[in-house]
Amino acid sequence: MSKEKVYIFDTTLRDGEQVPGCQLNTIEKIEVALALEKLGVDIIEAGFPISSPGDFNSVVEISKAVSEPTICALTRAVEKDIEVAAEVLRYAKHPRIHTGIGVSPYHIKYKFNATPEEVIQRAVAAVKYAKRFVEDVEFYAEDAGRADNRFLAKIVEAVIGAGATVVNIPDTTGYCLPSEYGSKILFLKENVSNIDKAIISTHCHNDLGLATANSIAGVINGARQIECTINGIGERAGNTSLEEVVMVMKSHKGLNLETSINTKKIFPTSRLVSTLMRMPVQANKAIVGRNAFAHSSGIHQDGFLKNRETYEIINPKQVGISESSIVLTARSGRAALKHRLATLGYKLDQKQLDDVYAEFLNLADKKREIHNDDLEALMGKAARFDRKIQLESLQVICGKSAIPTATIRIKYEGQVWEGTETGNGPIDAAINAVKTIITAKTTLEELLIHTITRGSDDMGKVHVQVESKGKVFYGFSANTDVITATVEAYLDALSQIV
């Protein structure tokens, strides 16, 4: 059984651009339009040309730049709007005028102060007028989600009779439940006599978080066009997300529906739109969020490493993401740590893994996420587990009105020793405290502290150079506490001296 085509109508440049602070200039709009063309969208709604000179010019230039998709311009059911739309679309290879009117009781009574019959007359007149300029005319029944189904069927039948090739059934306020919206589409399929002469389109908003669900309910019940935006951007809570509906249909083969979208272009297109519109994609956004293919739970990581499909229903490569990520946190298990260390070239036996894992958890409790640089530092520290001098505890008192004082406990030759000393600062005090215990004649020649990760929970990497009897010894450590890291690096060098 062959799959049925669902047309993807992208309104990122019209409805999506209505987000406050996300306006694009003409050059940026052309860049997005070309990316949408490569993505494989069927229709690009390029703007509302009568609304501003900028929108007018953008639709003209997009019409010149894009060749494959249909270019659509939005209008009200007003002759001047339609004339302007026809003018800007004169360069489009596949032009479409998108005109319409509100059809819910709220719009008919409060917005237009009209009767239902007057609204039908205006709708029919607008479609007929648009038909003078282009063959492809789409009619939108604004707020159809809250419209009476019998009236909706009546106006849809009238506009198809007037020449509409597509009828758009918007859930403008995002009010419908999926069952309600699906039933509305099915009602039109069964009660509009000429419905076979037009494509039914969905246009769902996300005010209740149901835009994707409603759009899918619509196509299940007979709609064959979905109006959507990249990253789900749009008025208020946004529009239907292109990447979500496309991947729902691709993943659920039983729906027997397909699109022309090149899914491997989804992620790069998402990033382009996010960058140009200066609107970050939320981390947990389906398909394109940075956590969409990230695993941090130890149980999930273990299952994923054994078989990807235990916790992923989509291969990230399908949407243009190179690979899933194993995020190392305090919730990660040994399997994830071993896997990441192996990718860095470290092969550990079970005893070594247990030792490193204990250090890993100590570090992970201090940091939100462990990065490769952290692990490299951790492995450098782990290689020194057998040094002769071990730090047991360190307490430092310092501040604007306090004399920096350090109290240190170290384990040396099987005994625990304690020393307290002051200094010019907390690090100097800590080093002096060590010297009260380890009395070997040494000179601290060099102390280098590097931040190796970003954020307030940075991990500091410390290198020291210590001279003793004409020889130079080097010490190293890493810790989220640079004072502790400095003392450990100093003890690392002293272990070689004693």
Residues 6+ apart with CB under 8 A from 335: 298, 301, 302, 305
Strand pairing of 137-142 and 95-102? Answer: parallel
Side-chain-facing half-sphere of 299: CA atoms under 13 Å: 0
Q: Is 252 annotated as a binding residue?
A: no
Length of the chain in terms of residues written = 498
Q: How far is CA 102 from the centre of its chain?
A: 33
Q: Yes or no: say if 174 and 208 are a contact pair by the CB < 8 Å rule.
A: yes
| Separation between Cα atoms, residue 31 and residue 26, nearest integer Å | 9
DSSP state of 24: -
List the Cα angle 165/39/48 in 5-degree steps: 50
Residues 6+ apart with CB under 8 A from 96: 43, 70, 71, 72, 73, 89, 134, 136, 137, 138, 166
DSSP 28-51: HHHHHHHHHHHHT-SEEEEE-GGG
Strand pairing of 257-258 and 294-295? Answer: unpaired
Neighbours of 238 (CB within 10 A): 21
| Separation between Cα atoms, residue 146 and residue 175, nearest integer Å | 8
Q: Is 205 annotated as a binding residue?
A: yes
Q: Yes or no: say if 433 and 420 are a contact pair by the CB < 8 Å rule.
A: yes
The residue assigned the tokens 């039948």 is 157
Side-chain-facing half-sphere of 164: CA atoms under 13 Å: 29
User: What stretch of H or E contains 109?
Assistant: none
| Separation between Cα atoms, residue 9 and residue 43, nearest integer Å | 5
The residue assigned the tokens 């997009």 is 62
Q: Is 203 annotated as a binding residue?
A: yes
| Separation between Cα atoms, residue 275 and residue 269, nearest integer Å | 10
| Separation between Cα atoms, residue 58 and residue 92, nearest integer Å | 12
Strand pairing of 257-258 and 137-142? Answer: unpaired
Residue 215's nearest CA partner among 229, 196, 198 is: 229
Detail the residues annotated as belonging to a binding site: 15, 203, 205, 239
Which residues are annotated as part of the binding site for Mn(2+)? Answer: 15, 203, 205, 239
